[in-house]
Amino acid sequence: MPIIIRRATREDCPRILELVRELAAYEKAPQEVTVSLEEFAESGFGDQPVWWGLVAVAPGVSPEEEATDNSAERETIVGFALYYIRFSTWKGERMYLEDIIVTKAMRGKGIGKRLFDRLVEEAKEKKLHGMVWQVLHWNTSAIHFYQKYGASLDAEWVNGSIDW
- Catalytic residue positions, numbered: 146
Q: Collect the ranges in the chain with pLDDT lower than 50.
A: 71-72
Report pTM. Answer: 0.84
Please report the pLDDT score of residue 41 as a whole number.
98
Q: Can you give the pLDDT at residue 104?
A: 92
Half-sphere exposure of 38 (CA within 13 A, CB side): 0
pLDDT of residue 72: 46
Supply the pLDDT for residue 127. 97
- What are the phi and psi torsion angles at 117 (to 5°)? -60, -40
The per-residue pLDDT for 62 is: 55
Q: What pLDDT score does 69 carry? A: 52
- Please state, in angstroms and rounded to a whole number, the distance separating the CA atoms of residues 31 and 28: 9
Using DSSP bridges, classify how beta strands 131-133 and 52-59 pair: parallel, antiparallel or unpaired.
unpaired
